[in-house]
Structure 1
Amino acid sequence: MVVRSEGTRKRETRKRETNGDRPIPIAAGGSSLLRPLKAAEVIARNIVGDIRAQNLRPGDGLPSEAAMLTQYGVSRESLREGLRLLEVQGMIAIRRGPGGGPVVGSVGAAHLGRVSALFFHMSGATYQELFEAWVWGQGELAERAARHPDADTRASTMAPFMDGHHHESDELLEGYLEEHAGFHGAVASLVRNRVLELSLESYGQIVAHHVAMVDDPRTLRSVLVDDHHKIARAVAAGQPKRARDLMEEHLRGVVDYCRDRLGGSLDSAIEWL
């Protein structure tokens, strides 16, 4: 009889779990923290690192596939898989045809929202939970934006949203959504914390995408424009509590609209439609 130490038994148990002998609960996920990066993930990380090191901007071209194979010393299959990972996440785009190839994409909350929605969906998180996080997150961003120490920066950033501009009734949906996202993005840009900016903004991107797919949010046009006007003034004036209160009140109105229009789907799992 072979006596195994406690440490040996634990290692064997982990090995059985990773070999699929028994499922690992989604909520646990601890083993993924120590999982070595796959070749494609290493390539994706290195490409992003080079984009940062070279200060490349959206639309700038990246090396050809042949050049990357030499530069990174990997197989064609691994390189293409790494590029696909980045393309799905919006960090690069692949231009097709003559003169095409990989170009730098953008870092935006919409891309993060698209990927995050998969995790939220698999976990069973509901739209009701998303709305709760969204209201809190945007309130936090508005309060922090109003605390930005430079009054001139606050004023110039909020200026486009303080003139009571009016949306024409025939405005295209895409333009309307960009305008709405632009306001919230401007508020977030004043927070001076890119982790909070991207993470908390992604909630709103998921909400906006879902509402746009199942309804027409332009019916809220007049309410949203007026709310943006008030919030922008509070941020520009450096009034953190008022900015947060107005933002949360604004979003609760949107949530009420969603409840009325979307009904029971608020209890369904989040997804990117």
Structure 2
Amino acid sequence: MISETGTTRHAVQLNPMQVPKASDVLANELRERILHGDFPEGTALPPERELVTQTRMSRTTVREALRILEVQGLVRIKTGRAGGAFVQSPGEESIASSVNLLIRGKQIRLAALLETREAIEPACAQLAAQYRTDADLTRLEEANEAISSETGSLADFLQANVDWHIAVAIASHNELLTGFMLALSRSIYASTDNKGFVDAEVRRTTVLAHRNITKAIRAQDAGAAVRRMKRHVHAYAEAVMEVEDRTSIEVPRS
């Protein structure tokens, strides 16, 4: 293009710009200050009215930013005269929630869940044998007692099974592993055809495996804990996938 002065103008095309929402900007600012320690755990963030005044943002924007932090597990919202947004540290449940969203959002295959469990649960058992406390052992034994009950329903057995595996992760005293195991155990439980899989033999084998692994953890025998957990989760994975493969085959009509 030639201008009136005779100079050549080049047409410049700009790409669309992504402008962040005001609530995201405020949530990011508050998040960084919480993680930096400016707002210690248990303390209250400034009231909504004060945040509106300080930031010059609308009350709607402030409330949306606080909801974002609540979903991320960084604050808990209380209502009433003594209410407000109180700072809390993200814990294992925050990790589990994020991992669970990934599992559901990506529709992760059951086989992949079982592979992940085989990869990390022996590490949980090893660390549990090294760092377990009396409280950890009590939690494991309570789950063992519940899973050994002959009068419990299938739902009771399955819940006790999840409780035991989570108890091993908690005994590792590794928050990341515990968060992963919370999500994995719950997702595998929800994805498995338990009625078609769990029978009397599976119950007996599970009880025996759990007790043997618990003994190794109690004795602080990390090597035995790893070996026994590897055998247990691998055998479980093979049995589950055998049932899944069998039930997924469409029976032709006669």
**What is the TM-score of this pair, normalised by structure 1?**
0.60
**1:141 matched to 2:119:** no
**1:245 matched to 2:227:** yes
Cα deviations across residues 70-111 of structure 1 (Å, max 9, x unaligned)?
A: 577654333333333344445555567897765677855454
Tell me the equivalent position of 2:241.
259
Quick one: which of 25, 31, 36 aligns to 1:45? 31
CA gap of 1:262–1:87, structure 2 versus 1, over 3 A, is farther
**What is the TM-score of this pair, normalised by structure 2?**
0.63
Cα deviations across residues 116-135 of structure 1 (Å, max 9, x unaligned)?
A: 24435555743222211111
CA gap of 1:106–1:45, structure 2 versus 1, over 3 A, is closer
CA gap of 1:83–1:144, structure 2 versus 1, over 3 A, is same
Cα deviations across residues 201-258 of structure 1 (Å, max 9, x unaligned)?
A: 43333323433xx545875544433322221111121111211121122222332343
Displacement of 1:170:
4.3
Tell me the equivalent position of 1:78.
61
What letter corresponds to residue 248 of structure 1 in structure 2? K
- Unaligned 5+ segments in structure 2 are 1-11, 249-254
What letter corresponds to residue 224 of structure 2 in structure 1? R
- Unaligned 5+ segments in structure 1 are 1-11, 21-36, 267-273
Displacement of 1:47:
7.6
CA gap of 1:238–1:123, structure 2 versus 1, over 3 A, is same
Quick one: which of 166, 175, 189 aligns to 2:170? 189
Quick one: which of 96, 111, 114 aligns to 1:131? 114
**1:159 matched to 2:145:** no
Report which of the two structures shows the higher radius of gyration computed on alpha carbons.
Answer: 2
For the residues of structure 2 that align with 1:127 and 1:69, how far apart are their CA atoms?
47
RCO higher in structure (CA 8 A, sep ≥6): 1
Displacement of 1:143:
1.1
Alignment partner of 1:159: what SS? helix
CA gap of 1:184–1:47, structure 2 versus 1, over 3 A, is farther
C-alpha contact 1:146 1:154 (8 A) present in aligned 2: no
For the residues of structure 2 that align with 1:261 and 1:229, how far apart are their CA atoms?
25
For the residues of structure 2 that align with 1:231 and 1:222, how far apart are their CA atoms?
14
For the residues of structure 2 that align with 1:256 and 1:176, how far apart are their CA atoms?
20
Number of aligned residues:
227
What letter corresponds to residue 243 of structure 1 in structure 2? A
For the residues of structure 2 that align with 1:67 and 1:38, how far apart are their CA atoms?
18
Aligned-CA RMSD value: 4.4
Say which is worse superposed, 236-245 or 223-232, in terms of deviation.
223-232
